[in-house]
Amino acid sequence: MGRVKSGLRYPLIVFDWDGTLFDSAAVITDCIQLAARDMALPVPDRRTASHVIGLGLHDSLRHALPTLPETQYAQFLALYRRYFIEREDTLSLFPGVPEMLAGLRERGHQLAVATGKPRRGLDRALQASGIGALFAATRCGDETRSKPHPAMLLELMAELALDKNELLMIGDTSHDLGMARNAGVDAVAVAYGAHSPESLHALEPRACVASVTELQQWLMTHA
């Protein structure tokens, strides 16, 4: 691994949002199940519902609710959003996330977000959490191709004038790690989010960490 011109191994660190920085995976799963119930659809089990976290809207619904006609996607989304917004005030960043991000910025890293959330939802979460100013750029699921397509990372690299050897992707799902692999960039998995450690290890990340504290320690040593 060659050193890059900044002296940092990864000048750009890209984070997924839900389940990686924001403790929301369980609530997202609940809201998917509640909206399915309200529409008299087969309610996906928790493993199926949580598996789609990180995907764009259409990919999520095709996987979790295969019997739902596309003509009813808007109705489902309205119900999902209602349940999510009702619970939004109970959600927060994982403990230690603001300190970790501030430390990375002080060290000279640029930070970005690549998420399946819609732009409106991410902007609301960034404002509420108070950490929006820490990120140099963000990409959302309704702006480009859904994970695991590499578009989000390719667009961030182009915007920030960096190449694939200078970027590290961090996420809690196989969709995040698949996106990194498809973009040709390194990745670190966090095992405290939506997907199981086994599914994450199968995609061969550089590391798979069990907590924000462990993630911060890994980044300070290896990034």
Active site residues: 16, 18
Is 135 in contact with 113 (CB distance < 8 Å)?
A: yes
Of 218, 220, 222, the residue nearest 102 (C-alpha): 220
Closest CA to 190 of 81, 100, 61, 56: 100
Residues 6+ apart with CB under 8 A from 170: 13, 14, 15, 16, 20, 176, 187, 188, 189, 190, 215
H-type alpha helices, 39-96: 46-51, 57-64, 73-88
Pick the closest to residue 146 from 100, 97, 190, 179 (CA basis): 179
Q: Which amino acid is at 177?
A: L
